[in-house]
């Protein structure tokens, strides 16, 4: 059985792409004609997947966007659709779970059994025992929050000894824990120099990089500071700039054009 890192590397090479499309359905921004369907969140996600699959290495559905609207079944349907029709691409469940004991086991079961995601985002705040249940799914990915793209993260993630701030301690520790090619780190495009410090610490470990597109992160800076020696090592996530490139019946075509343009910009700097 290939490791998650090996499967991800295969996905990078399939479309020659490091792009990940985040699927964050916003009820207020969904094309109005979709609400004529029984499952509008699924139909939206399916259209985005079909339109952009040729330009990505992964999809990243955001769990809360579905759960807050009581659309969890549509999330499960969407992930199943990707797994059936695009099995060479990775599905990252963006859930940012963080708990211990039996609760952590249930969160891991939810991600990997209920939803059958290839990987899930988690918080390291409670320590290794909060991650252990995810490690038990040895072929699945564990994507740990490290240096997130939001400005408010600075108070904690960049605190402590400036030689080794908190985010670097997380990077070093997760790198030590990762013995089966399972782990990635979330490192935001909005902090490119800190992205470089993480890359130096973790070597070839893949990094999930949000913050390009609507958040203003520079693709050029991300590639300059974050790619590995093979010109890979990154999953660069864009959501709103692709999802909502158009809000009418042509939203799929607009998403395809935005995804293709983003992929081409990424590859320009590899």
Helices (H) and strands (E) in the chain, counts: 12, 8
Residue 96 is a catalytic residue: yes
Checking phi first, is residue 42 left (phi over 0); if not, alpha (psi -120 to 50) or beta? alpha
Q: What's the CA gap between 59 and 105, in Å, rounded?
A: 24
Tokens for 255, please give them: 């998403």
Q: What's the CA gap between 201 and 12, in Å, rounded?
A: 22
Q: What's the CA gap between 244 and 255, in Å, rounded?
A: 7
Q: Residues with Cβ < 8 Å from 49, sequence gap 6 or more?
A: 21, 23, 59, 78, 81, 82, 85, 86
Q: Which residue has the tokens 């990762």?
A: 178
Q: What's the CA gap between 153 and 139, in Å, rounded?
A: 30
Q: Residues with Cβ < 8 Å from 198, sequence gap 6 or more?
A: 146, 147, 167, 168, 171, 185, 187, 207, 226
Annotated active-site residue in 96, 105, 169, 172: 96
Tokens for 201, please give them: 């610490």
Q: Which of 170, 221, 235 is nearest to 198 (CA)?
A: 170
Residues paired with residue 104 on neighbouring β-strands, in sequence order? none
Q: Which of 68, 21, 94 is nearest to 242 (CA)?
A: 21
Which residues are known to be catalytic?
A: 96
């Amino acid at each position: 059985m290939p490791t998650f890192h090996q499967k991800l590397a295969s996905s990078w090479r399939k479309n020659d792409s490091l792009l990940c499309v985040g699927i964050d359905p916003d009820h207020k921004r969904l094309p109005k004609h979709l609400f004529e369907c029984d499952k509008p969140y699924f139909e939206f996600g399916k259209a985005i997947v079909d339109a952009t699959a040729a330009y990505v290495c992964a999809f990243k559905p955001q769990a809360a966007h579905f759960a807050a609207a009581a659309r969890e079944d549509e999330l499960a349907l969407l992930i199943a659709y990707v797994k059936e029709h695009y099995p060479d691409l990775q599905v990252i469940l963006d859930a940012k779970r963080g708990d211990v004991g039996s609760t952590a086991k249930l969160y891991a079961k939810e991600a990997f059994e209920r939803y059958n995601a290839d990987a899930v985002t988690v918080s390291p705040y409670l320590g290794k025992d909060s991650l252990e249940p995810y490690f038990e799914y040895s072929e699945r990915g564990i994507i740990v929050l490290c240096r997130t793209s939001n400005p408010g993260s600075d108070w904690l993630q960049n605190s402590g000894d400036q030689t080794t701030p908190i985010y670097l301690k997380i990077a070093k520790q997760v790198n030590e824990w990762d013995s089966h090619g399972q782990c990635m780190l979330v490192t935001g495009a909005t902090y490119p120099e800190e992205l470089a410090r993480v890359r130096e610490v973790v070597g070839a470990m893949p990094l999930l990089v949000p913050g390009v597109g609507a958040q203003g992160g520079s693709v050029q800076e991300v590639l300059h500071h974050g790619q590995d020696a093979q010109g890979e090592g990154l999953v660069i996530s864009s959501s709103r700039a692709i999802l909502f490139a158009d809000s009418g019946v042509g939203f799929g075509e607009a998403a395809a054009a935005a995804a293709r343009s983003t992929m081409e910009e990424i590859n320009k700097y590899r």
